Amino acid sequence: MPIEHITTDITVNFNVTELLNSEKIAAAIASAYPKDPKLQVVGLTIPLLAFTCKNEGIIDPISDVKNAVSRIYDYLQKGIMMPVWTTLYKLYNILKSFGLGVLDLSLGILGLKVDDLLNPNLCDTVEKAVKNLYTSARSALDDILKFLNIPTPAFEDVHSPEKEIEHFVKSILSSLWTAFWKKVEEIKNLINTGLRLWDLENYYNTTSPKSTFPTQPFWEQAVNAILGKYLSLIKNPPTMQEILDQLKAFAKSVYQKSQIRASEIMAILQRFVLPIVGFPLDWKLPLNTRVHANSIDLAQVLADMKIWINNFVANLMQKFMNAIAQLLSIFQLSISFPPIPITLTACAIRTY
């Protein structure tokens, strides 16, 4: 029998110019929960992201709320990514007249293009596609998971189509940004070429230059100063399978054994680091103090690590765009990162 929820509508404003963080997002939402001590929030509905409270099936309030927070975390990153992409694409189009190459905006999966990633309906689109393929064309879903290098099956010792679908949706949403960052790298390289050609015509070869400094060296200096040591991460951020492989390799070195279980990985997770970025997770551990499901927790960790890496790169690009504000102004461009309001519903049950 479906659970009847007591619902409370909430709107939380998030400032994306401050570092996003899973725990901070969760705390901001929790601060707006109903104050009645006899009400326990067991889930969140987020209409914008096609995410709903569960009232039947497998209900695990801690995990369900954290998955909702992860969905919000992923979405809020668009508050950085959208202005970055929009501004870079405008600059690319201004410089395109110098003979720059054509930028392919296709992501190579589900017919999606870059603009689709910035669409609020993306979550709903991916969820519908996964649910349909899971039941009617599993091989096609496996091809998508293979293309994005998402581990499958999702759990080593748990069989739950409901949880697996939920995990694949989250994993695909977080992994799509790998393709996005590759497009950012492409457009960044094209702009670098365009600025060099623009300088030849408008700065070096004129008695009244259109700027007081050459733009291409300015751009290159900002790239080196802010993105320099992270360029390999931006070009090829680790996939979920690559993260899992590194986790397993680390666990094997700790336990000195060839076969590793999810429980063993979770037990040493806090000691794991990725090259360049360190520990790629901002949840406090353990993830769930009430339900011990190491296989499910490990799958959630992999997806959340991928979201964390996306956020790490997004923050780098935000700093880079702020650093080139003077250059952007030459082309009558500017960039800002306004706060993002998220409207959601807290679903609660009454405790006695």
Spatial separation of the C-alpha atoms in residues 146 and 169, rounded to whole Å = 14
Partners of residue 44 on adjacent β-strands: 346
Domain-located, residue 143: yes
Spatial separation of the C-alpha atoms in residues 99 and 283, rounded to whole Å = 47
Residue 132 domain boundaries: 6-350
DSSP-derived letter for residue 333 is -
Note the residue count of the chain: 352
Q: What are the tens digits of pLDDT across the range 98-128? A: 999 888 999 888 889 999 998 878 888 999 9
> Which parts of the chain have pLDDT scores under 70?
1, 290-292
Q: Which two tokens stand for residue 296?
A: 């499910």
pLDDT of residue 208: 86
Buried b / exposed e across 22-47, counting CB within 10 Å, b at 16+?
beebbebbeeeeeeeeebebbbbbbe
pLDDT of residue 1: 60
Spatial separation of the C-alpha atoms in residues 30 and 62, rounded to whole Å = 12
State phi, psi for 10 to the nearest 5 degrees.
-135, 140
DSSP-derived letter for residue 148 is T
Spatial separation of the C-alpha atoms in residues 106 and 120, rounded to whole Å = 18
Domain-located, residue 67: yes
Q: Which two tokens stand for residue 233?
A: 């991460």
Rg (CA), the chain: 22
pLDDT of residue 291: 62
Q: What are the tens digits of pLDDT across the range 79-93? A: 999 999 999 999 999
Domain-located, residue 302: yes
Domain tally, the chain: 1
Q: What are the tens digits of pLDDT across the range 221-249? A: 999 999 998 999 988 899 999 999 999 99
Are 156 and 125 contacting, i.e. CB atoms less than 8 angstroms apart? no
Spatial separation of the C-alpha atoms in residues 46 and 50, rounded to whole Å = 6
Domain-located, residue 289: yes
Neighbour order of strands in the sheet with 340-350? 6-14, 340-350, 39-45
Spatial separation of the C-alpha atoms in residues 148 and 107, rounded to whole Å = 11
**How far is Cα of residue 271 from the mean position of the Cα atoms in its chain?**
23
Q: Which two tokens stand for residue 252?
A: 């094997």
Are 182 and 172 contacting, i.e. CB atoms less than 8 angstroms apart? no
Domain-located, residue 147: yes
Domain-located, residue 333: yes
Domain-located, residue 1: no
Domain-located, residue 106: yes
Secondary structure of 222-276 as H, E, C letters: HHHHHHHHHHHHHHCCCCHHHHHHHHHHHHHHHHCCCCCCHHHHHHCHHHCCECC
Exposed / middle / buried, residue 304 (Cβ in 10 Å: 0-12, 13-18, 19+): buried
